[in-house]
Structure 1
Amino acid sequence: MNSNSNNSSTVALPAAETMRAALRQKITEGRLSPGSRLFDKVLAEEFGVSRNTARDALRLLTTDGLVVSIPNSGSSVRILTPADIRDIYSARRLIETGAIAQSSTASDELLQKIEVAATQSEQYVEAGDWNKVGTSSLSFHRSIVQLTRSQLVDEFFTTLAAQLRLAFALMPDESVFQVSWVGRDRNIANLILSGRREEATSQLIDYLNESEAQIIDGVRNTMHSRSVMDGAEKAS
């Protein structure tokens, strides 16, 4: 009996991990927005797994800071606060600047990923596909992080990127927000690829500081608007 139980756990865990990765990718691609309800029964049917496995995946996403679960109320995609944004950007500054410092010993393959990601963002801007601009911008910054050649750091940033996408979604107009960063991504890419690491780091820090401030303002405006709407509904 114990043996069967252990085998069941062994099978369920990879299934939950796979489901977690798929849902995290949906968030990163902007296909699951903040506040979206997540029902284990619906997810189990979508992924062809048991409801227990779906619950395990939701628990993993809760640990990732991407989902909130309330007893007897269910789960939903997390809505970030200004404090969450500050925490995310503190981590970004530490990881991305450290990655640039390691670019001198990076392989041609890793450096090429930076060029490809920057070019892809530019192509999506030309096509006016703002959802993909946001996704490719995150891919660009992940390509910088991959200069660390650390699987642990890359996995951590993959979750951080999903959290960032939730932050982007709270901006009043994501297209206006995204277009301002693509040219700066290109400048940072060119500096890294030409070995001008100090300049790349300086531009990246300015970029992250400005991005953080804009997103915090956007989140506060969204929170204020929702508060006003809730107040109006209660008054009526």
Structure 2
Amino acid sequence: MSTQNSAAAAGRPVLVTDVLRERIVEGDLPPGTPLRDVALSAELGVSRNTLREALRTLHDEGLVTQRLHKGTAVKTLSAEDVTDIYIARRTLELSAVEASPLAPEPLLDAMEAKVAAAELAVSAEAWDKVGTASLRFHQSLVALLCSARLDAFFRVTIAQLRLAFAVMADEGAFQAPWVARDREICDLIRGGRRTDAAAALRLYLDDSERTVLDAVRANSRTTTAPKGKR
């Protein structure tokens, strides 16, 4: 095998990982979805070994579970997972607001474009797109830190968040009010009001964490309750 072909083969698990993670972010792979080797490798046009390597990476990222004799499935997050995610969110997103005066203009434009996309999804009542669009805004906010490593970390974080959002009884109703707050944060950053933006974001994250935790805990009680007591 040539060096070029070897490099291409080595990169396939990374590409498959990216594709599957993106499907999670888009809401196409909700918690509990089984990821079967034979069907999925055929669909993606890769070997089962390549798929298994990608699934191991997703497991390490906390996006899937792998159990002996039960296979691989998209993970259902716990309350502890959610709490940890929001610790990371506060650290990165508030740091991004602090760094925003130094951010290149194209990154600020990209951030504003993500808010506009979320607003468009709300106006079209495309509720299956609203949550993803809002997550993209927060991803673009972290991008203001201009760190490829942090960008890669946050790509995993928004996929985890999407799994947490999926337990909402009505995700559209849950997501819609946050977009206006995304717009507020964006406008404060663009207006140079860094302190106000940080305050708005801190309150946003507090409210979001509380709401998501309540939903995750309620879902956990429902799924673990004995039949007849749900």
Aligned match of 1:172: 169
Aligned match of 2:42: 45
CA distance in 2, matches of 1:44, 1:232: 36
CA distance in 1, matches of 2:4, 2:34: 31
The 5-angstrom pairing of residues 37-76 of structure 1 reads: 37-76=34-73
CA distance in 1, matches of 2:38, 2:4: 23
The TM-score normalised by the length of structure 2 is 0.95
Match 1:232 to one of 222, 227, 230 = 227
What is the one-letter code of the residue matched to 1:48? G
Match 2:96 to one of 76, 99, 103 = 99
CA distance in 2, matches of 1:10, 1:215: 41
Consecutive unaligned residues of structure 1, counting only runs of 5 or more, are none
Match 2:11 to one of 9, 14, 18 = 14
What is the one-letter code of the residue matched to 2:85? I
CA distance in 1, matches of 2:51, 2:5: 14
Give the conservation status (yes or no) of the 8 Å contact 1:44–1:50: yes
Q: State the 4+ residue runs in structure 1 displaced beyond 6 angstroms.
A: 6-9
Helix, strand or coil at the partner of 1:68: strand
Aligned match of 1:81: 78
CA distance in 2, matches of 1:212, 1:8: 46
Give the conservation status (yes or no) of the 8 Å contact 1:134–1:165: yes
What is the one-letter code of the residue matched to 1:34? P
Give the conservation status (yes or no) of the 8 Å contact 1:172–1:222: no
Helix, strand or coil at the partner of 2:66: strand
CA distances 1:19-74 after superposition (whole Å, capped 9, x unpaired): 00000000000000000000111111011111111100100100111011011210
Give the conservation status (yes or no) of the 8 Å contact 1:110–1:146: yes
Q: Structure 1 stretch 17-26 or stretch 108-117: which is displaced more? A: 108-117
Q: CA RMSD in A?
A: 1.7
Consecutive unaligned residues of structure 2, counting only runs of 5 or more, are none
Give the share of equivalent positions with the same residue, in percent.
Answer: 43
Shift of 1:9: 7.0
Helix, strand or coil at the partner of 2:169: coil
Shift of 1:11: 4.5
The 5-angstrom pairing of residues 1-236 of structure 1 reads: 10-228=7-225, 231-232=226-227
